[in-house]
Amino acid sequence: MSEARDTIFAAIRGALGSLADTPADEIRREAARLLETPERVRPILPEGTAVELFVAAVKRLPPGASVERVLDISAVPAAVAAHLQRLGISGLARIQPVAPLAGLDWHSAGISVTETVDEGVAVTFVETGIAETASLVVRSGPASAILDSILPLHHVAVLPASGIVRHLDEAFSPADLKAGRNVMIVTGPSGTTDIEGNLVIGVHGPRTLHVVIVG
């Protein structure tokens, strides 16, 4: 191991004194205690089901975020087509090649499937949503590129109603983090306040984010 590493660890030990001898078990117990009563340190959510709270939270996000609910996955292509029509753009979209989306009839809904994602439209599938913050939990994998949620100008995310949790801290576990390269929590479209504090939507990532809740 490097000299720098040894120096830093020795400096920490020197600075902490006897604290540095705390048994690992004791440290782990203390860390767990700090998460024991999450209800005391979470923002209070209004009454309602997780889905209702999620919908209400999306509506509180800045412009560019929208949400709708369909009863069955087969209704998704028509919902996407209608959304694109509302945006006034053509029905050309990248469809993430994941099982729930790949088998749908996009053609009949008037959607032409493309591989191009840069500055275009991408439809992705997301397993988990968070009601507290109106967020989507995007996980990287062979069929789910992280860039599908960042490169397009318009992003449509398909989210099963059963995947919506109430609180931020319920969204994933340490095992989830180790299971893939990226876990990305996406909350509304891209934005900036870097010019005199003015909110501008769509600076590097998508300008619109539409969530289609299924079920």
Give the angle 187-192-197 at the CA atoms, nearest 5°.
125
Instruction: Give the integer Cα–Cα distance in Å for 138 and 133.
Output: 14
Binding to other proteins by residue 191, rule CB under 8 A? Answer: yes
- How many binding residues for other proteins (CB under 8 A)? 77
Q: Segment 23-52, which members bind other proteins (CB under 8 A)?
A: 24, 27, 30-31, 34-35, 38, 40-44
> Could you write out the DSSP letters of every residue in 62-81?
PTTEEEEEESSGGGHHHHHH
Please report whether residue 99 would count as binding other proteins according to CB under 8 A.
no
CB of 44 to other proteins, least distance (A): 7
* 108: contact with other proteins by CB under 8 A: no
128 scored as a contact of other proteins (CB under 8 A): no
Of the pair 43, 103, the CB lying nearest other proteins is at 43
Instruction: Report if residue 114 touches other proteins, rule: CB under 8 A.
Output: no
Q: What is the rounded distance in angstroms from the CA atom of residue 112 to the CA atom of residue 92?
A: 5
Residue (46 or 72) nearer to other proteins, CB: 46
Q: What are phi and psi of 124, to 5 degrees?
A: -120, 160
Q: Is 116 helix (H, G, I), strand (E, B) or coil?
A: coil
What single letter denotes the amino acid at residue 174?
P
Task: Identify residues 137-176 at the interface with other proteins (CB under 8 A).
Answer: 140-147, 149-151, 168-169, 171-174
